[in-house]
Amino acid sequence: MKKIICILMLIIGSLTYSFGKEEGNRSIKVIGESILNVAPDTLEIKISFSEIKPTYEEAVKSSEKTLNFIQNKLKDKGIKKDQIKTTYFNIDSYYENVKNENGNYENKFLGYRYTHKIYVDLDIKDKKAGEVLKVFNNLKIENVDVALMYKLKNDKDIKNKLMVGAFENAQEKAKILAKAGNFDIAEIQEIEYISKGDGKEVEPLGRGVKLYQINGNMNIQPDDLQMKDKVMVIWRIK
């Protein structure tokens, strides 16, 4: 059972009073925040690899060959092909500053570099994580990077709770300020959802080739993920 801890924080939000000649012009604006600490249920293994080849065609073929190699190796560890997702693929001309015979640096074309990024999601309780990492131990590629991330497989319900919690937090602040300022709040004039992205702070396990040295008995004890959300609410002041 997931451990979910909801923390509704009373923070100092954006507060403004606007007074006009007419009563309806007065308003109070408050920002509410909601925070949830949630136990992750998924381990994401992110793999990025790249190579430089003399021609564009060789770069394409090399990328395909390497991807097929990785897919077959992961298949041997019980990972199905449809579990391996591509998030990014690109081929660019590659240049480097090199010193010429006169001792001056010049921008020299060295070939075409492909960059391929893939990931595999595993249940947090799956024991295959260590075995999957060992796949890359003998991978004959110079530029390869592996990172592990915790996440939630489905965070829709959590996001809904965060939005409700952020609104309730703004409402609570408005009531406290109204009491302190000796005024009453009326109907809501505006609500603005001001979160950036999904508000999720994903905790990395680590990064780099040294991760490949983890053995097949890797025991993962993840910390909770912290997810945040904010809303801005404007009330009319009576």
| 122 shares a domain with 60 | yes
Q: Compute the distance between CA of residue 194 and CA of residue 13 in angstroms, rounded to an integer.
A: 12
| 114 shares a domain with 70 | yes
What does the pLDDT average to over 117-130? 85
Beta bridge partners of 126: none
Residue 199, judged by CB atoms within 10 A of its CB (0-12, 13-18, 19+), counts as buried
Q: Which residue has the tokens 């480097």?
A: 96
The pTM for the full model equals 0.65
* Predicted confidence (pLDDT) per residue in 43-98, tens digit: 888 889 999 999 999 999 999 998 998 899 889 888 988 889 999 999 999 998 88
What does the pLDDT average to over 97-106? 82
Task: Single out the residue in 95, 121, 150 at which a domain terminates.
Answer: 150
| pLDDT reported for residue 126 | 81
| pLDDT reported for residue 138 | 62
Q: Compute the distance between CA of residue 171 and CA of residue 177 in angstroms, rounded to an integer.
A: 10
Angle at 160 between CA 159 and CA 162, to 5 degrees: 65
User: Number of folded domains in the chain?
Assistant: 2
CATH of the domain at 71: 3.30.70.2970
| pLDDT reported for residue 2 | 42
| 130 shares a domain with 34 | no
* Predicted confidence (pLDDT) per residue in 131-144, tens digit: 787 777 666 666 78
| 218 shares a domain with 161 | yes
| 210 shares a domain with 228 | yes
Q: Which domain holds residue 230?
A: 4-40+154-237
Of 18-27, 170-179, 220-229, the one with minimum mean pLDDT is: 18-27
| 170 shares a domain with 114 | no
Residue 113 has pLDDT above 90, yes or no: yes
Residue 98, judged by CB atoms within 10 A of its CB (0-12, 13-18, 19+), counts as exposed
| 122 shares a domain with 56 | yes
Q: Is 167 left (phi over 0), alpha (psi -120 to 50) or beta?
A: alpha
| 140 shares a domain with 82 | yes
Of 4-8, 21-25, 96-100, 187-191, the one with minimum mean pLDDT is: 4-8
| 55 shares a domain with 16 | no
| 141 shares a domain with 49 | yes
| 69 shares a domain with 141 | yes
| 65 shares a domain with 162 | no
Confidence at 199, pLDDT banded by 50, 70, 90: very low
